[in-house]
Amino acid sequence: MNVYNRLVLADSLTPIQFDTLITEGYFPTQEFMETITHLIFPNMWEERMVAYKVFPLRFEIKKIQEHQSHKRIRNANKQFIFKIEKFEKVLPEHKKLYKKYLTSIDFNRNSRIEGIIGCEYATDSIFDIHTISIYDQDNLVALGIFYLGAIYGTSILHVLDPDYKKYSLGKYLILLTIDYLKQLKYPFYSPGYIVNNFQKFDYKLFIGKEAATVFHHDIGKWKKYNDKILVPKLYSEKKTNEIIDGLNGFY
């Protein structure tokens, strides 16, 4: 079993270089690219660490079908307006929404948007950053940040107003991102990764399992998604410690 955590640091990154790294299982993190085989979290009940296997996820856009769930989400949000534009800088309305968003989540997040995307101004980033802003009249209720390569679009961050939870704005942002990529004739969309036995990321599969492929670190290849990869796999404490050691002390 391959176990590793690898980073790529660069002063600049061409769209093709970006695509190559995504194809190799990497994902943008702050101002670098990272690939990791496992995530490690504490098990508070047993007072030990637990390992979860990571699978980078991508969708072949031309194979994505319009599901009933997609139609319901689009219909629920049709009264809102949205705009997609090239990112220039983190705006006060972004910061205000992000601060409100942080009060509603039950997992750790950087306290600032800049801490996630690695910059406040686009000129300081190696990535081609775009945003989707969703408004209820003049009120910003959702913000999506995604990066473009030459053939990949990759979602980085979704910021949602908790008062609008019933609208599934996070999923709506994904659908809008895919619509935009279709217009650009991009073949691939990447929403990050899914994780074995860790359901928090499973929602991404609503896009359509028929179009999904996952990267298998053990063989270094993308394979068609199969539900079997999410069947819970539990590691012994000894194996978990070996995995942590294999991640080069990352944890």
Sequence spans of domains, the chain? 5-246
Tokens of residue 20, six digits: 């190559």
Q: How many CA atoms does the CB half-sphere of 243 hold within 13 Å?
A: 20
Rounded to 5°, the CA angle 121-126-129 comes to 60
For residue 1, what pLDDT is reported? 81
H helix runs in the chain, sequence order: 15-23, 68-76, 92-102, 113-117, 169-183, 237-246
pLDDT digits (tens, 9 = 90+) for 212-223: 999 999 999 999
Tell me if 146 sits within 8 A of 154, measured CB to CB: yes
5-246 fold:
Aminopeptidase (3.40.630)
> Which strands make up the sheet holding 32-36, listed edge to edge?
5-9, 32-36, 27-29
| Cβ–Cβ under 8 Å, residues 185 and 149 | no
Q: Are 26 and 149 in contact (CB under 8 A)?
A: no
The predicted pLDDT at position 216 comes to 97
Predicted local confidence at residue 137, as pLDDT:
96
Report the pLDDT value the prediction gives residue 165, as an integer from 0 to 100. Answer: 96
pLDDT lower than 50: segments of the chain: 251
β-pairing, 152-160 vs 188-195, is parallel
- In this prediction, residue 46 carries a pLDDT of 61
* pLDDT 10s digits, 58-78: 999 999 999 999 999 999 999
pTM of structure: 0.94
pLDDT value at position 205? 98
